[in-house]
Amino acid sequence: MPSLTRNPRAFLRVRRGSLEGEMANPHPQTGGSGHLARHDGLEIGHRADPYRERAKVAEPCVCPDCGASVHDGRWTWQPASPGAASHRCPACRRIHDRVPAGELTLEGPFLAAHEGEILQLLTHVEARIRQEHPLERQMAMHQDAGHGRTVVTFTGTHITHGVAQALLGAFAGEMQASWPEGGAPIRIRWSR
Ligand SMILES: [Zn+2]
């Protein structure tokens, strides 16, 4: 099977019916391996990420922007240890630089008619994933009424995909995803 990651123009089109296997997974956004399970059986998670810490962050440390702290090499929401050094976390660096890791575009007549409940689910899923994975968060939301679409940006690829999958699971519709190379944000489009 050709690898989609080698083709920046590659698009993946998914309908709800093809996701039944993943719905059995209680953590579909991460799969069993900790990496995002792709529908073609491949995985992402090793893409070049310019915001990944290159060296191990010295502990204890705390992000001055969001309050996340590093424990045992992982960013967590646990309270920082006394005397923790200040170190901006990768998610806040993306927010500061306005460089998202993922972009989700919502559109279609169903969105226009049910925007309130769709955005409510999006907010709920975003909060759940952010609670579990401090570096995976929503960055910004732009509601483009003129074109009938809403664009949401995220600090992580997993949350971008996880939110899109939750919308697909709850409201059906259609999802298209592209994984560009070179650290560019993944782009997912959900429409109904
Ligand atoms: Zn932070």
CA triplet 171, 135, 27: central angle to 5 degrees?
45
Residues within 5 Å of ion ligand 1, judged at the Cβ atom: 63, 65-66, 68, 89, 92
What is the pLDDT, as a whole number, of residue 74? 93
pLDDT of 93 strictly over 50: yes
Cα–ligand 1 centroid distance for 8 (angstroms) = 30
Please, are residues 129 and 136 in contact by the beta-carbon 8 Å criterion? yes
What is the pLDDT, as a whole number, of residue 146? 87
DSSP state at residue 57? P
Cα–ligand 1 centroid distance for 151 (angstroms) = 22
Domain boundaries along the sequence of the chain: 4-32+99-191, 61-95
Average pLDDT (80-106) is: 96
Smallest Cα–Cα separation from 35: which of 110, 119, 133? 133
Cα–ligand 1 centroid distance for 96 (angstroms) = 10
pTM above 0.85, yes or no: no
Give the integer Cα–Cα distance in Å for 192 and 188: 13
pLDDT in tens, 146-188: 889 999 999 999 999 999 999 999 999 999 999 888 778 999 9
What is the pLDDT, as a whole number, of residue 52? 83
Average pLDDT (107-132) is: 96
Please, are residues 106 and 161 in contact by the beta-carbon 8 Å criterion? no
Which is more confident, 133 or 41? 133
